[in-house]
């Protein structure tokens, strides 16, 4: 992980790279935090994921990492809920109303009958 203060708009920017030999992809996530984005009608966190062909280096896909982070975090919450809460649980508390709370709610509804 390479992370640095950009020196512009109080932003912090980082790059993460990875490879998995069991699947034919190389990946890179680039993005960061722009604290003044809310005033622009944008989310403070902006990031993108690029997937590459490891044999040619050719870019194969560009995906919103904001979306991927949301579903990954929601899935982790749902797995924890499934294994750590009582099966008859009907209520859920979420602290915060950010983007990830939506994904956490949707994923939890897939594993528990929460009263809405």
Q: Which stretches of the chain are DSSP H helices?
A: 65-84, 99-109
Q: 29 an active-site residue?
A: yes
Which of 16, 29, 82, 106 is an active site residue?
A: 29
**Residue 31: closest CA among 18, 9, 48:** 48
Question: Is 101 within 8 Å of 94 (Cβ atoms)?
Answer: yes
The residues annotated with a catalytic role in the active site are 29
């Amino acid at each position: 992980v390479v992370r640095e203060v950009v020196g512009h708009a109080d932003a912090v920017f980082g790059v993460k790279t990875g490879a998995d030999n069991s699947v034919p992809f190389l990946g890179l996530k680039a993005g960061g935090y722009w604290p003044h984005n809310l005033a622009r009608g944008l989310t403070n966190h902006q990031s993108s994921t690029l997937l590459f062909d490891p044999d040619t280096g050719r870019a194969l896909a560009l995906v919103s990492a904001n979306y991927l982070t949301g579903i990954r975090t929601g899935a982790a919450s749902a797995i924890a809920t499934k294994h750590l809460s009582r099966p008859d649980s009907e209520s859920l508390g979420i602290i915060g109303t950010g983007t990830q709370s939506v994904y956490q709610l949707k994923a939890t509804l897939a594993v528990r009958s929460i009263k809405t």
